[in-house]
Structure 1
Amino acid sequence: MDPDLALILGLVLVVLSIPSMVAALSDGHAPRVAAITLIAGGAMVVWAIATKPGGYTIHEVPDTFIKVVGRYLA
C-alpha cells in the first residue's frame, strides 16, 4: 500500500471514530468498535509516517489528501 493512501485512510478512520466513541459513551456503552477503528487508523498513520522517507509535515497533509483523492477518482 502506498504511504500516502495509508496516511489518508488512517486519518479518515481516526476522524470518523471520534463521533462513534462519543455516541457510545453518551449511551452508556463501551466504545469497542470505535476504539478498534481508532487503533487501526492510528496504526495506518504511524506506518505511513515511518515508511515515507522524511515523513510528513503538517503542511503536506492537505496536498497529499488532494493528490490521493484525485488519483483514485480520476
Structure 2
Amino acid sequence: MDRDLLFLTGLIFLPLAFVALVSAWADRRFPTAALVLTVIGVGVAGWAYATHPGGYDWRSLPDLAVETVARYWRR
C-alpha cells in the first residue's frame, strides 16, 4: 500500500480518537475506543513517516493530501 495513503489514514484516525475521548468523558466511561484509535493512528502514521525517504514536511501536507486523493480518484 502507498505510504502517503497510510500516513493520511493515520492522521484521520487522530481526530476520531479525540471525538471518542470527548464522548467517553461526557458519558463518564473509560475511553477504550479513543485509546485504540490513538494507537492505530500514531502507529500507522509513525510507520509511514519513518519509512518514507526524507520524512514528511508539515507544510506540504495539503499538497500531499490532494495528490494522494487525485492519484486514487483517477484509477
Identity, in percent, stands at 35
Aligned residues: 74
Instruction: Report the residue type matching 2:28 in the other structure.
Output: G
Q: Aligned with 2:59: secondary structure?
A: coil
> Structure 1: 5+ residue runs without aligned partners?
none
1:36-57: per-residue Cα shift (whole Å, max 9, x none)?
A: 0111010011101111110001
Instruction: Report the residue type matching 2:8 in the other structure.
Output: I
1:20-71: per-residue Cα shift (whole Å, max 9, x none)?
A: 1111111101110111011101001110111111000111211111111112
> Which residue of structure 1 lines up, in the alignment, with residue 18 of structure 2?
18
> Structure 2: 5+ residue runs without aligned partners?
none
Once the 2 structures are TM-superposed, how far is the Cα of residue 73 of structure 1 from its aligned partner? 2.1
Structure 2 residue 40 is matched with structure 1 residue 37: no
Instruction: Report the residue type matching 1:53 in the other structure.
Output: P
TM-score (norm 1): 0.92
CA RMSD of aligned residues (A): 1.0
Q: Which runs of 4+ in 1 moved over 3 A?
A: none
TM-score (norm 2): 0.90
